[in-house]
Amino acid sequence: MTCFDCVVFTFAGPSLKVISTLSVGYDHLAIPEIKKRGIRVGYTPDILTDATAELTVALLLATSRRLPESVVEVKNGGWTTWKPLWMCGYGLSGSTVGIIGLGRIGLAVARRLKPFGVKKFLYAGRHPKPEADTELNAEFVPIAKLAEESDFVIITCSLTPDTQGMCNRDFFSKMKKTSVFINTSRGAVVNQDDLYEALVNGHIAAAGLDVTTPEPLPTNNPLLSLKNCVILPHIGSATYATRNTMSVLAANNLLAGLKGENMPSELKL
């Protein structure tokens, strides 16, 4: 529990009965203390899956095809005569895509990437998913094998004590030098110092992050100085429609919780 949590619980006192979070992730909540106090929690799964999967695909393409860097080149006069290898990146066609955490969002990402001509999907997590194996010709593999064989590594798992810092020096050293790393889960799944080192030393080709530690990322963070790192301000679910739907669900969760009724979407603690 952080000091901030202590302060919130101390000020709220025993009258705090319900928490409603505008998110599917709940790693920001002090769950053991919440359980101890018998507080109910509402959250917003499913309805943000499509928007977050779409953003993940957008970030992957922006990173692998170097879109932000290309836009800057056009603006600053770096676009001169045609050169065969200028602004080249990596394409999805014929590639192997590895997804860590083939849950709601991970599966929605894979479904969107398949029509790009992905040759093979690998995934890692706690459990194999026979339905995904059949639908996507996907293979459940250990994380090390996923790192070694994937051209694109996409992180869509939840942040837990097991996944915290999971993408570290050892992980990046197993990836191909031509691989692209994408994280739209939570920043703390990645050891950012190790990621910086992997990007600077060419152990991996590029990274795209929608989530960082901390958030907002200080503007002097070394990752922001790298051309091969694309960083977004945690906008996975940020479409007008999705945020509106999330807000209505979060409000209904809260009202139901306060009335002692079944919440439309209650976190099972």
Cite the active site residues. 234
Tell me whether residue 131 or residue 193 sits nearer to ligand NDP (CB atom).
131
Of 77-85, 146-154, 213-221, 231-239, the segment contacting ligand NDP by CB under 6 A is: 231-239
Residue from 47, 57, 100, 229 in contact with ligand NDP (CB under 6 A): 100
Find the binder of ligand NDP among 18, 48, 60, 188 (CB under 6 A): 48
CB-CB contact of 184 with 55 (8 Å): yes
Stretch that binds ligand NDP, among 81-89, 124-132, 146-154, 169-177 (CB under 6 A): 124-132
- What is the rounded distance in angstroms from the CA atom of residue 85 to the CA atom of residue 77? 17
In the list 5, 8, 33, 158, the residue contacting ligand NDP (rule: CB under 6 A) is 158
**Site pattern 185..214 for ligand NDP (x: CB under 6 A):** xx-----------------------xx---
The size of the chain, in residues, is: 269
Residue closest to ligand NDP, measured at CB: 103
Kindly report whether the peptide bond that precedes residue 32 is cis, defined as omega within 30 degrees of 0: no
Per DSSP bridges, beta strands 120-124 and 96-100 are parallel
Cα–Cα distance measured from residue 89 to residue 66, given in angstroms and rounded to the nearest whole number = 6
Contacting residues for 97 by C-beta, under 8 A, at least 6 apart: 110, 113, 118, 120, 121, 122, 150, 151, 152, 154
Q: List interacting residues with ligand NDP (CB under 6 A).
A: 24-25, 45, 48-49, 52, 100-106, 124-127, 156-160, 162-163, 184-186, 210-211, 234, 236-237
